[in-house]
C-alpha cells in the first residue's frame, strides 16, 4: 500500500479504512513515511475532514504507537481530567486533591505550556522541589497511596501524535477537529485511566473558538472514549475571559491555594466543583449534582487542602506553600495598568491576555524558552465589570522591566469598553455524557 495513494485518497475526500490508517502511522514510525508525507496528510484532513470511524482509527493507531500504561492496579478508581487549553486555567491543582479527598484516584500526565496557553507542569514547577518525573512504578504507587500523582507526559506515550503535532504546529493545521480529537484522546487512552473528564474550552482564548465547533469536538472525543471502553464525559466551558484573575505560574498557584482554602474567584471555584462532580460520578456512580455538593463541603472544611499538601510533599515539593505562598518565586518588578475609559468591559480578547503573559516571561514562544515562574498578570476587572477611567485594571509582573511597555500595549488592546451592561454568558454551556 503506497503512502501517496493513502494521501491521494484522503485529498479527494474518500474514507480511509482502519488498515490504511494503521499502515500510514506504522510507516511514519518506521521511517518509511517522511515528515512531508504526514504534512500533506494533515492538510488533506484539514480540508476534507474525517468520518467518526476514521478519527477513531487514527486515535487508536497513535495510542498504540508507543507505551500503553497499565493502571489496572488502581481498579476502577483511576480518573483523568484534560483541558483543551486556556488562559488562567489552573483547575488541575484544585480538582486533583478535591477528587482524591472524596475517594477518586487521579493518575494524570500533563504538559507544559506553549504559546498563549499555560501548562499544568509549568505551574507545578514553580513549587520548589516538585518532581515532574516519576518512573512508572513510583507513579502508580503514589497514586494508590495518596490518591494523586501528576507528572509530565513522556515521549513514550503516543509518540506518533507528538511527531504529527509538531508538524501541525508549523503547517497551520492545528485547528482541525479530527486532528485535535485524535491527538487528545490518543494520549488519554495511552495514559491508562479508566475514567476521563474533558474540559472543552470555547471562546477567544480557546483553541476552538465557536460553540458549534467545541460541541463537535466534545462529542467526537466522548464517542472515541466510549468506543475504547472508557467512562467519559465532557464539559463545554467558557474561555472568552480568563479563568480566575491570575495568569502566570506562581500567581496561578497562589490562586489555586486560595480556592483550596475556601475562598478565591467564584468562576474558578464553580468550574472546579463541576469538573470534580463529573469525575466522581464516573468513579463512584450516582448524580454529579450530589457529588458537586460534596465537593463544595470538601473545599470549605479543609479536607481538599489536606490532600493537596500530602500530594505536593509526596512528590518532593515544599508543601508549606499551602500556608505561606511567599515561599513561591516572585517577579522582581511590577507595573499597574489603569482603565483608559469609563464603562463596562464588554469583551476581552483572551488570547491577547495570554500573549501578554508570554511577553512578560510567563510562557514560551518556542519549546526551548525559559519561563520566569513569577511573571504574569493579576487582573483587577474582567468582562461584565464596570470601571471608571483611572481604576486599576491589572498588575503586570516580570523580572524584565523592558517587557512592560509592549505588554501594556498588548493587554490594553484586549479590552473593549461599552456604555451599557453586557449580557452574561454561561460559565458552563453544556455537559456531554
168 is catalytic: yes
Catalytic-labelled residue, pool 37, 82, 90, 163: 82
Among 183, 177, 265, which Cα is nearest to 218's? 177
Catalytic-labelled residue, pool 168, 292, 296, 330: 168
332 is catalytic: no
- Containing 79, the helix (H) or strand (E) segment is strand 78-83
Q: Which three cell numbers stand for residue 264?
A: 478565591
82 is catalytic: yes
Catalytic-labelled residue, pool 187, 194, 201, 382: 187
Cα separation, 245 vs 260, in Å, equals 15
Please, what is the Cα angle at 314 between 142 and 368, to 5 degrees?
90
Residue linked to cell 498578570 = 377
The DSSP bridge partners found for residue 247 are 377
Residue linked to cell 495598568 = 337
238-274 in b/e form (b: 16+ CB < 10 A) is bbbbbbbbbbbbbbbbbbbbbbbbeebbebbbebbbb
Catalytic-labelled residue, pool 80, 89, 122, 161: 161
Residue linked to cell 469583551 = 347
Catalytic-labelled residue, pool 125, 162, 183, 214: 183
DSSP-assigned letters across all residues of 122-163: HHHHTSTT------HHHHHHHHHHHSEEEEEPPTTSSHHHHH
Catalytic residues: 82, 161, 168, 183, 187
Amino acid at each position: 500500500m503506497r503512502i501517496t495513494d493513502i494521501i491521494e485518497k484522503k485529498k479527494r475526500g474518500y474514507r480511509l479504512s482502519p488498515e490504511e490508517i494503521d499502515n500510514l502511522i506504522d510507516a511514519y514510525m518506521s521511517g518509511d513515511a517522511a515528515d512531508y508525507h504526514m504534512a500533506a496528510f494533515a492538510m488533506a484532513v484539514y480540508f476534507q475532514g474525517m468520518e467518526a470511524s476514521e478519527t477513531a482509527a487514527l486515535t487508536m493507531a497513535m495510542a498504540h504507537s508507543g507505551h500503553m500504561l497499565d493502571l489496572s492496579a488502581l481498579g476502577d478508581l483511576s480518573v483523568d481530567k484534560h483541558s483543551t487549553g486556556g488562559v488562567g486555567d489552573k483547575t488541575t491543582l484544585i480538582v486533583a486533591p478535591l477528587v482524591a479527598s472524596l475517594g477518586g484516584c487521579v493518575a494524570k500526565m500533563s504538559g507544559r505550556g506553549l504559546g498563549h496557553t499555560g501548562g499544568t507542569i509549568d505551574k507545578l514547577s514553580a513549587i520548589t522541589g516538585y518532581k515532574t518525573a516519576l518512573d512508572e512504578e513510583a507513579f502508580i504507587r503514589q497514586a494508590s497511596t495518596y490518591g494523586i500523582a501528576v507528572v509530565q507526559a513522556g515521549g513514550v506515550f503516543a509518540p506518533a501524535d507528538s511527531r504529527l503535532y509538531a508538524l501541525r504546529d508549523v503547517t497551520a493545521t492545528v485547528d482541525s477537529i479530527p486532528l485535535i480529537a485524535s491527538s487528545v484522546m490518543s494520549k488519554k487512552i495511552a495514559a491508562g485511566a479508566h475514567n476521563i473528564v474533558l474540559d472543552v474550552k470555547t471562546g477567544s482564548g480557546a483553541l476552538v473558538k465557536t460553540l458549534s465547533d467545541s460541541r463537535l469536538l466534545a462529542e467526537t472525543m466522548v464517542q472515541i472514549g466510549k468506543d475504547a471502553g472508557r467512562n467519559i464525559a465532557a464539559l463545554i466551558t467558557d474561555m472568552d475571559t480568563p479563568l480566575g484573575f491570575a495568569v502566570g505560574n506562581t500567581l496561578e498557584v497562589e490562586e489555586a491555594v486560595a480556592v483550596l482554602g475556601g475562598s478565591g474567584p467564584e468562576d474558578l471555584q464553580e468550574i472546579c466543583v463541576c469538573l470534580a462532580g463529573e469525575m466522581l460520578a464516573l468513579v463512584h456512580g450516582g448524580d454529579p449534582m450530589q457529588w458537586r455538593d460534596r465537593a463544595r463541603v470538601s473545599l470549605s472544611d479543609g479536607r481538599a487542602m489536606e490532600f493537596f499538601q500530602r500530594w505536593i510533599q509526596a512528590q518532593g515539593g515544599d508543601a508549606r506553600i499551602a500556608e505561606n505562598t511567599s515561599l513561591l518565586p516572585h517577579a522582581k518588578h511590577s507595573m499597574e495598568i489603569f482603565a483608559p475609559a469609563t464603562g463596562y468591559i464588554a469583551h476581552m480578547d483572551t488570547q491577547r491576555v495570554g500573549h501578554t503573559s508570554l511577553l512578560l516571561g510567563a510562557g514560551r514562544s518556542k519549546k526551548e524558552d525559559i519561563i520566569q515562574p513569577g511573571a504574569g498578570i493579576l487582573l483587577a476587572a474582567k468582562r461584565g465589570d464596570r470601571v471608571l477611567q483611572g481604576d486599576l485594571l491589572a498588575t503586570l509582573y516580570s523580572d524584565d522591566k523592558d517587557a512592560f511597555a509592549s505588554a501594556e500595549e498588548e493587554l490594553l488592546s484586549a479590552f473593549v469598553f461599552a456604555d451599557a451592561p453586557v449580557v452574561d454568558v454561561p460559565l458552563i454551556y453544556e455537559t456531554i455524557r
